[in-house]
Amino acid sequence: MTTMLQIAGVVAGYDGSDVLKSVDMTVETGSITCIVGPNGAGKSTVLKTISGLLRPRLGTITFLDKPIQGFSPRAVLETGIVQVAQNHSLFNEMTVQENVRLGAYLLNDRARIDRALAEVEDLFPIVHERAHEKAGNLSGGQQRLVEFARCLMLNPKLILLDEPSMGLDPRTLKAVFDTVKMMQASGRTILLVEQNVKTGLGASTHGVVMESGKVRLTGSSAEILHHPEIGHLYLGGTLEDANTAEGSPPASTSAPAAQR
């Protein structure tokens, strides 16, 4: 596997305070990489920094061997990275089709936009079936699918998904993650952030654990899922506490547990 995205020493935050404190991670081409971690770990901030919504103070972000740190959101989109934001990110007062068309806002070729729309309508029938309804009238799961459809309009290489499971019931959740796998199977690389560790890592190929603005573990999703310290971390402790309690050497956790 080749590296599609590499983040090295990224420091970023809001209003002068740093949320990310020197983050290092890689995303392999064709993988589904899931970032997990407790609230406030900086998971969503990583995605915002990649997509250009937040400018990193220090560090480099390399996408397909080209530096993209500090790019505007539009410039990041042009490189082939799209983000599906946390919560419902559709424009509620606009129709489903208008929302999906907005995904191709960068394109000027009308024929190409129509072709992209026809393709996503094939993948997501709801885009055609509910084309002229207001997006705000759809259920949470349906809105997620329309968001996915919108993000595919630019035929991206890397898709950033911020908590795709948020607010969804188990049945809808399964459909949403099946769609994530379908997008991967069609050649896209996915970097997602999940609060729901089992669901997120269960659907991924690779995992990254973050805590307090730093990456604490990386490895295959199976390794991360069965790592003994994950449960402790989510039950309120830190990885250092877990190591002290269990007598493990601190080096095994502060460094990546299973380097790829």
Q: How far apart (Å, rounded) are the C-alpha atoms in residues 190 and 137?
A: 28
SS3 category, 121 = helix
51 lies in the site for another protein, by CB under 8 A: yes
Please list the residues that pair with 115 across neighbouring strands: none
* Site for another protein contains 129 (CB under 8 A): yes
Residue with Cβ nearer another protein (58 or 166): 166
Please state the closest distance from residue 132 (CB atom) to another protein, in A. 9
Q: How far apart are the C-alpha atoms of 52 and 25, rounded to whole Å?
A: 17
According to the binding rule CB under 8 A, does residue 209 interact with another protein? no
- Per-residue mark of binding to another protein, 58-87 (x: CB under 8 A): ---------------xx--xx----x-x--
Count of all residues that appear for the chain in the document: 260
In the complex, minimum distance from the CB of residue 129 to another protein, in angstroms, rounded to a whole number: 6
Non-local CB neighbours of 125 within 8 Å, separated by 6+ positions = none
What the block records as the tokens of 11 is: 């420091």
Separation in Å, CA 46 to CA 8, 14, 133, 157: 12, 12, 34, 18
259 sits in the region (left: phi over 0; alpha: psi -120 to 50; else beta) called beta
Q: Which is nearer to another protein, 142 or 221 (CB)?
A: 142
Return the number of the residue (87 or 244) whose C-beta is nearest another protein.
87
- Short-list 183, 212, 260, 187, CA closest to 1: 260
Segment interacting with another protein, rule: CB under 8 A, options 31-39, 166-174, 237-245, 252-260: 166-174
- DSSP 8-state secondary structure symbol assigned to residue 41: S
x/- track of binding to another protein for residues 94-123 (CB under 8 A): x---x--xxx-xx-x---------------
- Tell me the site size for another protein, rule CB under 8 A: 38
Which CA distances in Å does 18 have to 28, 135, 226?
A: 27, 35, 30
Q: Residue 91, interface with another protein (CB under 8 A)?
A: yes
Binding mask 218-257 for another protein (x = CB under 8 A): ----------------------------------------
Binding site for another protein (CB under 8 A): 51, 53, 73-74, 77-78, 83, 85, 89, 91-94, 98, 101-103, 105-106, 108, 124-126, 129-130, 133, 137-139, 141-142, 145, 171-172, 174-175, 178-179
